């Protein structure tokens, strides 16, 4: 289950009385993506693309490009390879 689906499911199950809409889920997703990036260079590269209305495909394309560029930068500088950690949850697949 992808992150957006998990956010949508969790917000639907919550008894908050608020109305769940696509824009609210998109904002939570963008904020989670922004704060979840551990590498500051990648975070700086992707932050301009974390705007309202950005599609998932564009966001993933830009994230992949930012990771590739940072990997090349670190390889040139002789540092270790950049890696992305997978999010693990207790939800069944």
Classify residue 82: in a domain, yes or no.
no
By percentage, how much of the chain surpasses pLDDT 70? 70
**pTM of model > 0.85:** no
Classify residue 57: in a domain, yes or no.
yes
Classify residue 12: in a domain, yes or no.
yes
Classify residue 92: in a domain, yes or no.
no
How many domains does one find in the chain? 1
Which of 69, 71, 32, 38 minimizes the C-alpha distance to 50?
32
Q: Do 67 and 49 touch, CB atoms closer than 8 A?
A: no
Decide if pLDDT at 15 tops 70: no
For 80, residues 6+ apart whose C-beta sits below 8 A from its C-beta are 74
Choice between 24 and 1, residue whose per-residue pLDDT is larger: 24
């Amino acid at each position: 289950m992808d992150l957006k689906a998990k956010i949508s499911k969790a917000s639907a199950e919550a008894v908050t009385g608020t109305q769940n809409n696509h824009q609210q889920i998109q904002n939570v997703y963008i904020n989670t993506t922004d704060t979840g990036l551990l590498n500051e260079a990648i975070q700086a590269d992707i932050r301009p693309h974390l705007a309202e209305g950005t599609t998932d495909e564009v966001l993933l394309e830009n994230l992949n490009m930012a990771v590739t560029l940072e990997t090349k930068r670190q390889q040139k500088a002789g540092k270790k390879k950049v890696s992305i950690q997978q999010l693990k949850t207790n939800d069944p697949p």
